Amino acid sequence: MVGRKDEIAILQDAVQSKKAELIAIYGRRRVGKTYMIRQVLDKQIVFEFSGTLNGPMNLQLANFSAQLTKCLGSPVPLAVPDTWREAFLNLERYLEPIVTQKHSVVFFDEFPWIHSRRSGFLQAFDYWWNSWASRYPMLTVIICGSAAAWMIEQVVNNKGGLHNRLTRTIRLMPFTLFEAEAYLQANGIKLPRHQIAHLYMCTGGVPHYLSGIGKGQSIIQAIEKMCFTKDGLLAREFENLYAALFENPSKHEEIVKALAMHPGGLNREEIIKNCNLSTGGGTTRLLNELKESGFISYQTAFEKTSNEGFYQLDDAFTHFYFRFMAERKLTGNDLWEKISKQPIYYTWAGYAFERMCQQHILQIKKALGIGGVATTQAAWRTTAKMTRTSGAQIDLVIDRSDQSINLCEIKFSQTPFIITKQYASELLNKEQIFQMETNTKKALFTTLITPFGVVKNEYKTGYVHSEILLDDLFS
């Protein structure tokens, strides 16, 4: 296992608990939830059942019965129950002699897929937990699902029989850069960090996606094979990704497409206009489902109210897909190598690197020596229409409780970044406009975040207070 130290500790503590445990685990598709559970709790799992996507109730029940037959070691298949209540009664008969003797885990994978319409599964499950399972102190029940929005609404925030019944909750996130590097090294793949960052910018820290690179492959070759060949690992991933998480995914896909085409972000009204959505609660639900599933985030600009924020696309692969895979104009071999030499690549890379930095804010704070300082983070922008100035934008503002603010400029480059006289003037202008518009009395520190650092010259010395390198993001 790579990473996941906090999550592993929670699971190990749960199976040693002196009370019955009901644990909900959720996170985006392909992030490694099932793998983690099996690796950590393999010896304690006495029953495991996984839902089938779009499977009708009779198929789910038949699969449940087949799995129970396997656990019992019976040469004769159990009869398929007619209801979930009957299915859980059969499970009780199997578990009774086991859970009174040793710590045991019952694992329901892809839990949302089991609850087909009018199946009564969720009601039968909460009755089974409340009336039977919760009485056994050596029993741990884990429910796991990729449909994070459903898990939160129907399980974590359940208003019925499962209300306040969860004992622990785990949201499994994609790997950080440090964990991605460790994962690749554990698979015998050693690459320089700028190449790992390149892969991360294309696919994010999703373990399954990272598994697509083979030994001896360059990053260019790996992305080419995964994304631009007929049977590549990610060639059809987008078509399956949202369909596996949302019942009617077309509107979700339209929203993420709009955000991919506007990487600087869109507010709610702009999303409604771009996607031809209604202004009612349906749009709120769509946005919340995408946010809870980890595909988008809501950003509040510095010193703005929560109603003045905007949505950004967080999922690296979705951004990459719409930029380069959805409507491919180039054909033939070595597509990614050709694309990476075009202007569109550098435009995409600038936003992808910025997003990657924003997702590693803890590492940035550590590199700045303010890991223990309370902070808030936000982007900041002002336009000529809003002020008497020419307008300005700052990629990341770190507002610190020690009466200081870091104004972070995030610049992607493939060589050490050079501050020219013109860019130095822009930095000074941004700082002056920020101070004037916010009327802040805090100390302002200009920080540059670049892959390979900043070339030392008179402008760096005079205008940059601190710098963050790519290596710092791997800490």
Instruction: Report pLDDT for 334.
Output: 85
Specify the fold of 5-171.
Answer: Rossmann fold (3.40.50)
Check: CB of residue 340 under 8 Å from CB of residue 300: no
Q: Residue 400: which H helix or E strand, with range?
A: strand 392-400
Mean pLDDT of the region 81-86: 96
CATH 3.40.1350.10 in the chain is located at 369-473
Closest CA to 365 of 393, 402, 394, 392: 402
- The DSSP secondary-structure symbol of 77 reads P
Closest CA to 106 of 190, 189, 235, 20: 20
pTM above 0.85, yes or no: yes
CATH 1.10.10.10 in the chain is located at 240-322
CATH 3.40.50.300 in the chain is located at 5-171
Identify any residues that bridge with 397 across adjacent strands, giving them in sequence order: 378, 407
**pLDDT tens digits, residue range 2-39?**
999 999 999 999 999 999 999 999 998 899 999 999 99
**pLDDT tens digits, residue range 103-122?**
999 999 999 999 988 899 99
Q: What are phi and psi for residue 334, nearest 5 degrees?
A: 55, 40
Check: CB of residue 47 under 8 Å from CB of residue 94: yes
Q: Residue 392: is its pLDDT beyond 90?
A: no
Q: What percent of the chain has pLDDT over 70?
A: 97
- The DSSP secondary-structure symbol of 396 reads E
**pLDDT tens digits, residue range 32-60?**
999 999 999 999 999 999 999 999 999 99
Assess if CATH 1.10.10.10 describes domain 240-322.
yes
Lowest pLDDT segment from 251-265, 300-314, 355-369:
300-314
What does 91-139 look like in DSSP terms, one character per residue?
Answer: HHHHHHHHHTTS-EEEEEESHHHH--TT--HHHHHHHHHHHTGGG-TTE
Query: Which class in CATH covers the domain with range 369-473?
Result: alpha beta
**DSSP strand pairing (21-26 vs 139-145):** parallel
Mean pLDDT of the region 412-436: 94
Q: What span, in angstroms and rounded, lies between the C-alpha atoms of 78 and 73?
A: 11
Mean pLDDT of the region 372-397: 80
When comparing pLDDT for 380 and 84, which is higher?
84
